Amino acid sequence: MELAPSTLNRLANSVLGAAPAAGAIACAVQADGALSRLAACLGAIGFAVIAVRDYRLGVSCRRATLVIRGYLRTRVIPRESITGITDFPAVRWTTHRGRKRWTPITAFVTSTDEISATRLHKERALGKLQRWARP
């Protein structure tokens, strides 16, 4: 089961990386020196990666694992290690060595500034995740 924010929300998230990437490309085109051009190109690549990751925010509920795709990192958690899903939203889980961990799910964090349809979509996705995680 794949859970992700709405398409409109995903596009809005990706703008946070796409806009600076476009600015970095403009800087690369106008740069005079090779070092300036290189720095601008590296910035454009980095922001493009962030734009793609921002678009792909979400959760994959597989048979034996939960895959959480965040802004900068993807975390794979074994299903049997999950001890709960909080309303924050975050996953509480325990490592194979017994260490308690907490991993936020940034894709479903709600804000008072967002429209009600977006918030409702995120709440439904979180509810599905909570039902999936029950033993």
Per-residue pLDDT of the chain (135 residues; tens, 9 = 90+): 999 999 999 999 999 899 999 999 999 999 899 999 999 999 999 999 999 999 999 999 999 999 999 988 999 999 999 999 999 999 999 999 999 999 999 999 998 888 999 999 999 999 999 999 987
Instruction: For residues 97 and 94, give the distance between their C-alpha atoms in angstroms, rounded to a whole number.
Output: 8
- The answer to whether residues 84 and 92 touch, using CB atoms and an 8 Å cutoff, is yes
pTM for the model: 0.85
**pLDDT at site 112:** 86
- In the chain, % helix, strand, coil (3-state, to 5) comes to 50, 25, 25
Report the alpha-carbon distance of residue 75 to residue 103 in Å, rounded: 8
Please tell me the predicted confidence (pLDDT) of residue 92.
Answer: 97
Distance CA 44, CA 28 (A): 9
CA 105 and chain centroid, separation = 7
Q: What pLDDT, on the 0 to 100 scale, is given for residue 43? A: 95
Place of tokens 């600015």: 23
| C-alpha distances out from residue 2 to 9, 24, 91, Å | 16, 33, 16
**Token digits of residue 55:** 């678009």
